[in-house]
């Protein structure tokens, strides 16, 4: 969608849900990555003003609070946390600067470094890649959170170059609405080719076909795996008050542990296991059961492993990669009714 918002705008329920997913993921990501690395990076490429109209926190504040208020003493891990907040719009950048300075309250803790930038994201990504090439260095383990307006600012080749290193991950907005509306219009093909890294979007079913939207979402997921070489991709649907889908949130990683943490985060926002959030149902969590129906999981495990000797680790991997369920859904009571023999 086009950016027609004020400098600071109203928070939509699905945007809060997105930030809840981010917060929950960072609560798990910070301690896991900092335990084994000397430096980790959170890169917010389209940080916005850092706050919403009623004072609700934007993604920069969410990330900083997730780190500074973490229940564990992360300083003990001897890891430097670098948080990079980039916002191109000068007015929003000015507000962002004030929000971050207010959080700072003097000096950052020694293990926390914060960088605020006022740049075009594509230029910033190119500068980072060129610097790494010159230094013959790898990017430290990084979670890039890319939440732009529209579909023109995140070419997939740029993402590939920036996040090609093993421990780099991506949480990105996919402009489903624009792809569905304009993907076969023919007048913005250049931008969609950059977005998808292919011209296969031209093969989408015609407007009105119920499979059209799914075609674009599936294509983007395939390209994130094929072009960017992410092993695992999770997606989450956002639905507005009109019942329409403005965008999907895609999480991409090469780490099975990352999948585990992200599934926990997404289930916390969508406890029905549907990997979607609707503004119409915001605040009505009583409609959903906290406990998942594991019958489909049992059927999937039976179909895959019936009569075989398998380890718990194999079962856990299957659940994480091949089903919508979390690892914690795999319990003895789930396995007991099935003819699966567990290897010790």
Along the 344 residues of the chain, how does pLDDT read in single tens digits?
446 789 999 999 999 999 999 999 999 999 999 999 999 999 999 999 999 999 999 999 999 999 999 999 999 999 999 999 999 999 999 999 999 999 998 899 999 999 999 999 999 999 999 999 999 999 999 999 999 999 999 999 999 999 999 999 999 999 999 999 999 999 999 999 999 999 999 999 999 999 999 999 999 999 999 999 999 999 999 999 999 999 999 999 999 999 999 999 999 999 988 999 998 776 655 445 556 788 899 899 999 998 888 999 999 999 999 999 999 898 755 765 554 545 44
- Identify the residue whose tokens are 């009714």: 337
**Structure tokens of 96?**
């962002």
Token representation of residue 176:
């489903």
First to last CA, the chain: 53
CA distances from 251 to 78, 259, 262 (A): 27, 9, 8
Domain 13-287 classified CATH 3.40.50.150?
A: yes
Report the C-alpha gap between 308 and 339 in whole angstroms. Answer: 8
Query: Using an 8 Å Cβ cutoff, are 45 and 118 in contact?
Result: no
Chain length of the chain: 344
26 CB-near residues (< 8 Å, 6+ apart): 42, 62, 63, 66, 67, 143
What are residue 165's phi and psi, to 5 degrees? Answer: -85, 150
pTM for this predicted structure: 0.93
Under 8 Å between Cβ of 257 and 178: no
- What per-residue confidence (pLDDT) applies to 220? 99
Relative to beta strand 80-86, strand 112-117 is parallel
Q: In whole angstroms, how far apart are CA 300 and each of 147, 295, 316?
A: 34, 9, 13
């Amino acid at each position: 969608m086009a950016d027609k918002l004020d400098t600071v705008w109203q928070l939509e329920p699905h945007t809060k849900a997105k930030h809840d997913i981010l917060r929950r993921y960072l609560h798990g990501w910070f301690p896991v990555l900092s335990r084994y690395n000397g430096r980790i990076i959170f890169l917010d490429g389209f940080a916005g003003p850092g706050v919403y109209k009623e004072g609700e926190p934007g993604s920069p504040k969410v990330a900083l609070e997730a780190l500074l208020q973490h229940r564990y003493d992360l300083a003990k891990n001897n890891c430097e946390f670098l948080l990079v907040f980039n916002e191109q719009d000068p007015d929003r950048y000015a507000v962002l600067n004030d929000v971050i300075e207010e959080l700072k309250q003097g000096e950052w803790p020694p293990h926390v470094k914060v960088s605020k930038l006022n740049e075009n994201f594509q230029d910033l990504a190119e500068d980072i890649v060129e610097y790494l090439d010159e230094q013959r260095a790898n990017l430290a383990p990084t979670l890039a959170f890319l939440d732009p307006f529209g579909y023109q600012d995140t070419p997939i080749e740029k993402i590939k170059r920036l996040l090609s290193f093993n421990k780099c991950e991506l949480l990105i907005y996919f402009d489903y609405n624009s792809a569905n509306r304009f993907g076969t219009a023919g007048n913005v093909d250049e931008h969609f080719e950059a977005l998808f890294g292919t011209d296969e979007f031209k093969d989408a079913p015609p407007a009105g076909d119920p499979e059209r939207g799914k075609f674009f979402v599936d294509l983007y997921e395939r390209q994130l795996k094929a072009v960017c070489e992410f092993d695992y991709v999770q997606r989450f649907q956002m639905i507005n008050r009109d019942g329409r889908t403005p965008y999907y949130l895609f999480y991409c990683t090469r780490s099975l542990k990352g999948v585990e943490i992200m599934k926990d985060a997404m289930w916390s926002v969508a406890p029905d296991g549907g990997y979607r959030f609707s503004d119409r149902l915001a605040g009505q969590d009583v409609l959903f059961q906290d406990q998942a129906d594991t019958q489909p999981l049992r059927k999937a495990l039976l179909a895959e492993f019936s009569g075989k000797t398998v380890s718990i680790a194999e079962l856990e991997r299957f659940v994480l990669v091949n089903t919508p369920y979390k690892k914690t859904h795999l319990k003895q009571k789930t396995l007991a009714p099935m003819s699966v023999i567990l290897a010790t």
